[in-house]
A = this chain, B = another copy of it.
Amino acid sequence: MTTIIDVAKQAGVSFKTVSRVLNGESNVRPETKDKVLQAAQALNYRVNSAARRLRSKTPHLVALFLNNPSRSYAQDVQIGAMAGCQDAGFTLVVEDPEKNGAIERLAAQDGLLGAILTPPQSDDPKIIARLNAARVPFVRIGTERSVAGSNQVGIDDRAAAVDMTNYLIGLGHRRIGFICGPQDHEASLRRYKGYCDALQAAGIAFDNDIIERGDFTYASGLTLSERLLALENRPSAIFASNDEMAAGCLAAAYRRNIRVPEKLSVTGFDDSPVARVIYPALTTLHQATRDMSQKAIALLDQKRRQDSDEEIVVKLPHELVIRDSTGPFIPN
């Protein structure tokens, strides 16, 4: 195992200088820095995070507040957060933000680096207020509503919905139904906005009859799709705001013997595990949920190091994933 002492010898500097370089402290001459970095590389040096943590009493606890009805979403967030913690040698504590006093109890703990908020808590003013009162730094995930002094990581939901809608339009669909997510959910509204914007840009008339309000559950997707499919002039495509509702939509299509994608195109959003498990496999919009929470932890860490107060907003890329639930519009 190589230590900073080995690196220092190789580079011909004191081991303290190596430490400085490794921690990105500013007062090191660039050429010295290069020498150190090269030596570290050559010796395949890896920091010993145990030693670092032992010495520097830097916070090592990260709280993930998680209370989301979608288990797959929760799992993705958690895996990303755990990965982020391992990267930096932190310990993750997963807590239910609704639990009484959970926030305050954690804030009182020693060595709390910060917290991560997930939807729908990302947009809950009460929770944000409690966090601020307890002076706990936090990052909000999967939201775009800005809040004073808050960092956030997410995708551009509107743009993503535009992409999805344009894809359907490109397939020849003109009558595209839309199933909204819950109204108190920031991302839902942005997705709806994207849908509307894309229609307008394509010069397609907006029709309120083929817009439904769901709540992200399979059941709501099923019921509302039944309604859409019962219409005399039913849509040739349905854009559901998440995968679980899209799954419900597929079931509704089955019931009515409407073949997907021949007679009906269906799309979801999120690229959750359901999307692959269902038949036909869902065309959906992949968002890197895992990366979000991982990134969020890196953010927390970085902000502490730089002792920075500025609000950081990170936008991650999204990706349209085309599977089997969508196809070209075929007139009857």
Contact residues of A with B, CB < 8 Å? 1, 48-51, 53-54, 60, 71-72, 75-76, 78-79, 82-83, 85-86, 89, 91-92, 110, 218-219, 222, 244, 247-248, 251, 254-255, 257, 273-274, 276-279
- A-B pairs with beta carbons under 8 Å apart, 7 shown: A50-B50, A71-B273, A86-B92, A251-B279, A254-B254, A273-B273, A273-B274
Q: Which of B54, B72, B278 contacts A247 (CB 8 A)?
A: B278
Nearest B residue (CB) for A252:
B254
Q: CA–CA, A71 to B244, complex, Å?
A: 16
Question: Which chain B residues lie closer than 8 Å to A71 at the CB level?
Answer: 273, 276
Instruction: Check B1 against A279 for contact (C-beta < 8 Å).
Output: no
Contact yes or no, B75 A76, CB < 8 A = yes
Complex-state Cα separation, A48 to B72, whole angstroms: 33
| Known contacts A48-B54, A247-B278, then 9 further A-B pairs from the complex at CB < 8 Å, ordered by chain A residue | A50-B50, A50-B60, A51-B54, A75-B76, A78-B79, A79-B82, A218-B278, A218-B279, A251-B254
Most buried by B among A79, A92, A248, A257: A79
Q: Is B254 a contact of A72 with CB atoms below 8 Å?
A: no
A72→B277 CA distance, assembly (Å): 10
CB distance from A137 to the nearest CB of B (A): 21
A110 to B276, CA, bound (A): 38
How far, in Å, is A119 (CB) from chain B's closest CB? 17
